[in-house]
Structure formats: C-alpha cells, structure tokens
Amino acid sequence: MEDKEYTELLHNAFSKLPNLEEEHQDFVIPKVDSMIQGNKTIIKNINAIADRARRKREEISRYFEKELGVPTSLEDQRLVITGKFREEDLNKKLERYFNVYVICRECHKPDTHLENAGNGMYYLVCEACGARYSLKSY
C-alpha cells in the first residue's frame, strides 16, 4: 500500500468518526431553589436534585440535616429545613454532597451508586470506570 492510498484511507476513516467536541457534555450540579417561610427554609426542587444525583430524597435530606445541624422533613415535593439558610450556603452544601457522594474521583462522572459496607461505612462505586472508594456514612 502506498503512502498516498494509506493517507486517503486514513482521512476517510477519520471523516466518519463523530466529532468529540460536539458530543462532550459536562455534568452540571443542580442549584437549590429555596424560599424562607417564617423560621423554615424550603427547598422546592428536592425531587429534581435527587433525580440528578440518582439518590433517594431521604438520603439528601439526612445529609442536609447532619451538615446544618437542624431537623429536616420531606413534605410532598419539598424539603423543609428548620431555620433560615441562604441559598448560597445551601448550594455550597449541595456541591459538597455531589463531590463526595455522587461524582467519581477518577473519571469525574456522576454514574455512581452507594453500597453499604456495614459498620457505618459505604462504598462509592463508579459504573463508568469501575472505581471504588470507601466513605463514612452521612
């Protein structure tokens, strides 16, 4: 095979490959949509956050409860937090949750799940690359 023929075949093969730059999409951590009513802060989009994280609403509620040190409750489609908290502070806590309990440290993809290891420990298992990390419970 001549160099010219090889180059044409190579060019033809590359032209049929998808453009990776167009298909590349970064995972975006959702933002909290909250409001303050009296002495309570209500996260209105807890279901969307849980869906994006592929976690149960109860797990995210328990995380906020522990991080903020106040009781929380799930009412209909909302998470009710006792106390007044700014949206920026809630977004920081949510970002930390995603970085620790959702996003893989190896491939940076959110395609993970938690496995209970017992003794208050969990494993974060990545379905994309197979990485496995031990975590303390929240």
pTM of the model: 0.78
pLDDT, tens digit, for every residue of 67-87?
999 999 999 899 999 999 999
Rounded to an integer, what distance in angstroms lies between the CA atom of residue 24 and that of residue 108?
A: 13
Give residue 20's pLDDT. Answer: 52
For residue 43, report the phi and psi dihedrals to the nearest 5 degrees: -95, 110
C-alpha 87: how far from chain center = 18
For residue 86, report the phi and psi dihedrals to the nearest 5 degrees: -70, 150
Look at residue 138 and give its three-state secondary structure: coil
104: exposed, middle or buried (Cβ count in 10 Å: 0-12, 13-18, 19+): buried
Domains of the chain: 27-102 (3.30.30.170), 109-138 (no CATH)
27 versus 124: the higher-pLDDT residue is 124
pLDDT, tens digit, for every residue of 31-79?
999 999 999 999 999 999 999 999 999 999 999 999 999 999 999 899 9
